[in-house]
Every structure is written in structure tokens, then in C-alpha cells.
Amino acid sequence: MTPGQGELKRVAVVGGGVAGLAAAYELAKQARETGLPLSIDLFESADRLGGAILTENVDGYVLDAGPDAVLTLKPWGLELCREIGLEDEIIPTQDEHRGVALFSRGALRSLPYGTGSSAVRKIRAYVSSGVVSWPAKLRMAADLVLPRGEQRADESMADFFGRRLGREAVERIVDPLIAGIYSGDPDKLSIYSTFPRFPQMVAKQRSILLSLLRAPQSARSGSRTLPIFCSLRNGLGQMVEAIVERLDGAQVHLSTPATTVEKTGAGYSLGTHAGRHNGYAGVILAAPAWTTGRLLGDLAPKPAREMKSIRYLSSATIFFAYRRNDLGPRPRGFGFLVPGCEGRRINGATWISNKFAHRSPEDGFLARCFIGGDRTGEELQADDDGLVRICKEELRDIAGITAQPLFTRVYRWKDSGPQYDVGHASLIGEVDAALAEHPGLEVTGAGFRGIGIPDCVYDGRETARRLVEYLRNNRTVPRR
């Protein structure tokens, strides 16, 4: 046994979003499996856990106010769901409704969904969709014959895709697709920190289009084959509840924002609005990067400055619950996205009842609109009634929906969307190098190494494993 391993070690996790919960879960799991005696405190500034994951059930309508799906091509989210007893609760998207549209050049235009259809069908779908002009289609086709080109250290999404597919493809295809994830600006976002898969495609197969035509459309979960996205039967809030049930005696402090982190001898102390907590052998900061930077301002000024420089954007999700018969023809597909060049006031909408089962009563239909980010952030100055009014008008003009909803719900996410601008990977490398001078102090969360649920789960658990390795063997392992 390593000297001192038998002594109880106190650990603090600051932030109860999915990364912080994954870190706390992994700490508890490692303590059981290694015999390392840990006392875990989890601090959350809000009055609930889950961060951007928030599920509410209103009159039989299941509202996932933040993310509503887990990407299955990255396995870590589903792996955790299986571990915490949710295997039988995993539900796929509804194949009979699958499809996505872009509102481009004044009309909704269907795109091929997924990447598993035949090459001929996919090419025909893109060519006939009308999303881009014929000159733009020919320019996109040039990707099939363009050389790999020079491998760059980093560049914007617009520069990368513009070079491969042309500017119109960036404006009318890339821009709306990334708006659904980052709500950001492709001229600012780093391709290597957001979608490194695409430069890898070019490096390996020379062409983005050829790589997409050959890519799989599903992933494995245990003995099941799942489509690209899945969810949980009663919403993603199930994941939060199941993790909390498995924290093995961790002390959860809600409505307790952290104010300072200080070095005290061989460990750390944590200041909160409820007082000071001393004697921590390790601390994991799983808060937004700007919060983490503020906490580390005195202890680690250089990484604190780097963290504060990471941009965050605000957004809102607006739900509309309908009687299905009031809608007329059922909306098709999973919803639509809107290119910024169209000048509309929403980024897109999801037909939730088409996308997942168990989201509305049999005679109901649930829709969700997105507003905010770099493109429609100014609309967030409206009050909730104003946001509802904007979305009603956009749904009428774009999708022809004139029915009056049974109810609406507005959820605002202030400064919740981290933006991985060009240079982000280098910045995070500098942060990690600087924090290496403070063993036992770790950072994780959506602002650093991946914003989706699978990435946050992976990084939260990996960060916890690093801390356990340090506590057991007094050494810090490099990040993978």
C-alpha cells in the first residue's frame, strides 16, 4: 500500500453539470474498486443538478430543455447509461420519420439523413435538394478530385470547408448544421477543436464527400444497433437521476456557489457563500471556463486568464405543444435548420414527436425552436412572450404552422455555449501545462475538451481517474 493511502482523503467537485456528475460518479467508483477511502463533496451553484440537462413532464409532454439526444458514434455516453442501469431505457430515433430539412433559398428543402444510404441515393438527394445553386453544386463536387493540400496547425471551419466545398456550401449547409450544435460562427470556430473528423477524412481518404459516402450510419450499444442519435424513454433527466443515486454517500451542496480556491499546505481549501471548506487533497473544477478562471485568479493567474478568454454564447429553447389534429398535415422529418444568410429570427426547429417516441400523448405533437448564439442572439433581448411570438411567426412562415398551441415553455441558457475558436486546442494545452504545477487540481467541463454529452462524460471520468492516480501514487498522468 502506498504510504498514507489508508487515510481518508477529501475531494471536492465544483459544478454539478454532466461533466461534474461524471467525475463524482467515477471518484465513487474508483474508491470502491481500489479501496481508496474518499470523502466527496459536490458543490453546485444552482438549486438542482444536471446543468444543461433538464427534463420536465407537462401534461404528458416530455420536454428536454437542453440537449435532447446522445450521439452514439462516441460511445462514452451510452457506456455510462449501461453502467447506471439505463440500458433498457435507451430509445432510438424513430426511423419512419427520419429526415432533416434546411430552409434555404426561401423554402424547406430535404437533405439525406445519416450516412448509411447508398452513394447514388445520397448524391441524388443533395443534387435535387435545391439547398445550393448549380454552380455551388459543381464547386462542391470538386472535392472529389482536389488534392489533400497542406496540413495546417489550425484554421476556421469556414476556411477549411470553403477550401474543400466552396463558400456557398459554408453559408447554406455548414453554417446551419453547426448552429444546431454550437450556435456559433464558422468564421471563428476551429475545425480541429470542433470537428477534427473532417480534416482526418481529407488526410486519410483525400475527400470529404468520399469519406461521408462510405461512413457507417449506426453504432452498437451492447447487443443493439442504434442510429446516430438516441435518448432515454423519459428524457435525459433520467441520466442525472441515475448518476445521483450512485454517488455512494457523496455530500451534495446545492445553491452553494464556490468563490475561491486556495492552496493550503499539501492540499486545497474552497471558499463558498456558505463558508470555507478546508482539507481537500484534490479539487476538480467542472464549472464553465469563465467561472473556473475566476476561481483560479489568485492561485493560477496565467491559466485563469486563458480560461476567461473562452467565449460563451447565450441561447433559448421554446416549446410548443399542439393537438395533432389542429396541425393539418403532420410536419415531416425531425425538423429543420436555417442558414444565417436567410435572415430569419430562429436557428431552427425540432419536431420532437417525430424524432423520439414517448414525447407526447397519442393525440399530441411537440415542437421546439432554437434562438440565440452568434446569429440570433439579439432576439434574446425579448421577454418570454416576445420569444414565443417570434417563434410562432417563424413557424408560420417557414413550416406553415398556424395552429394555436396548448401551452408553450421558454428556457433560457445564459452564457452556456462555449465557443472553440481558432487556437482553442493550443490554449487548452497551455492551461493543462500550467495546472501541472498544482498537483491535485483538475479542470473539466464543456468549455475545454468537448461540448457534447459523450465528450463531457469521457472527460469528467478521465479527470477523476487522473486525480485518483495522483492520490494513490502521488503522480499525475498525462492526458490522453
Long-range CB pairs of 210-214, under 8 A, 24+ apart, other chains included: 210/144, 212/115, 212/122, 213/115, 213/119, 213/122, 213/123, 214/119
Instruction: State which residues form the domain around 468.
Output: 9-51+237-310+420-473
Confidence (pLDDT) at 351: 97
Residue 79: inside a domain: no
When the pLDDT of each residue in the chain is averaged and rounded to a whole number, the result is 90
Dihedral angle of Cα 113, 115, 120, 124, to the nearest 10 degrees:
30
For residue 382, the one-letter residue type is A
Q: Are residues 401 and 425 in the same domain?
A: no
Instruction: Say if residue 316 is in the same domain as residue 414.
Output: yes
Please tell me whether residues 42 and 164 are part of one structural domain: no
Q: What is the pLDDT of residues 114-168, one digit of tens each?
A: 534 444 455 556 556 778 889 998 999 999 999 988 878 899 999 999 999 999 9
Residue 115: what pLDDT? Answer: 38
Q: How far apart are CA 55 and CA 65, in angstroms?
A: 6
317 and 413 fall within a common domain: yes
Say whether both 197 and 277 belong to one domain. no
pLDDT value at residue 213 = 74
> Is residue 479 assigned to a domain?
no
Q: Give the C-alpha distances (Å, rounded to integers) separating 19 from 7, 344, 456, 469.
A: 27, 34, 5, 19
The CATH number covering residue 16 comes to 3.50.50.60
**pTM for this model (two decimals):** 0.92
Same domain, 301 and 374: no
Domain contains 335: yes
Claim to verify: residue 160 and residue 191 sit in the same structural domain = yes
Each residue's pLDDT, cut to its tens digit, for the chain (480 residues) gives 343 457 889 999 999 999 999 999 999 999 999 899 999 999 999 999 999 999 999 999 999 999 999 999 899 999 999 999 999 999 999 988 888 899 988 899 887 655 344 444 555 565 567 788 899 989 999 999 999 888 788 999 999 999 999 999 999 988 988 877 888 899 999 999 998 989 999 999 899 888 877 765 555 545 456 688 999 999 999 999 999 999 988 999 999 999 999 999 889 999 998 899 999 999 999 999 999 999 999 899 999 999 999 999 999 999 999 999 999 888 999 999 999 999 999 999 999 999 999 999 999 999 999 999 988 999 999 999 999 999 999 999 999 999 999 999 999 999 999 999 999 999 999 999 999 999 999 999 999 999 999 999 999 999 999 999 999 987 777 676
Q: Is residue 1 part of a domain?
A: no
CA–CA gap between residue 346 and residue 391 (Å, rounded): 7
SS (H, E, C) the chain: CCCCCCCCEEEEEECCCHHHHHHHHHHHHHHHHHCCCEEEEEECCCCCCCCCCCEEEECCEEEECCCCCEECCCCHHHHHHHHCCCHHHEEECCHHHCCEEEEECCEEEEECCCCCCCHHHHHHHHHHHCCCCHHHHHHHHHHHCCCCCCCCCCCEHHHHHHHHHCHHHHHHHHHHHHHCCCCCCCCCEEHHHHCCHHHHHHHHHCCHHHHHHHCCCCEEECCEEECCEEEECCCCHHHHHHHHHCCCCCEEECCCCEEEEEEECCEEEEEECCEEEEEEEEEEECCCHHHHHHHCCCCCHHHHHHHHCCCEEEEEEEEEEEEHHHHCCCCCCCEEECCHHHCCCCCEEEEHHHHCCCCCCCCEEEEEEEEEHHHHHHHHHCCHHHHHHHHHHHHHHHHCCCCCCCEEEEEEEEEEEECCECCHHHHHHHHHHHHCCCCCEEECCCCCCCCCHHHHHHHHHHHHHHHHHHHHHCCCCCCC
**Assigned domain for 104 exists:** no
Domain boundary pick from 394, 418, 442: 418
Residue 105 lies in a domain: no
Residue matched to cell numbers 429526415? 99
Of residues 426, 422, 448, the one with CA closest to residue 186: 422
Tell me which of 216, 247, 269 is where a domain ends: 216
**The CATH number of the domain where 144 resides is what?**
1.10.3110.10
411 and 426 belong to one structural domain: no
How high is the pLDDT of residue 117?
A: 43
What's the CA gap between 356 and 249, in Å, rounded? 34
**Which cell numbers hold the place of 246?**
450512485
Q: What is the pLDDT of residue 3?
A: 39
**Domain stops at, among 376, 399, 418:** 418
Whether residues 462 and 337 share a domain: the answer is no
Q: Are residues 360 and 439 both part of a single domain? A: no
What total of structural domains would you count in the chain?
Answer: 3
pLDDT tens by residue, 174-188: 898 887 788 889 999
* pLDDT for the residue 4: 43
Residue 57 lies in a domain: no
Looking at the fold, whether 376 and 453 belong to one and the same domain comes out as no
Q: Is 34 inside any structural domain? A: yes
Task: Tell me how far apart the alpha carbons of residues 355 and 308 are, in angstroms, rounded to a whole number.
Answer: 37
Shared domain for 254 and 343, answered yes or no, is no
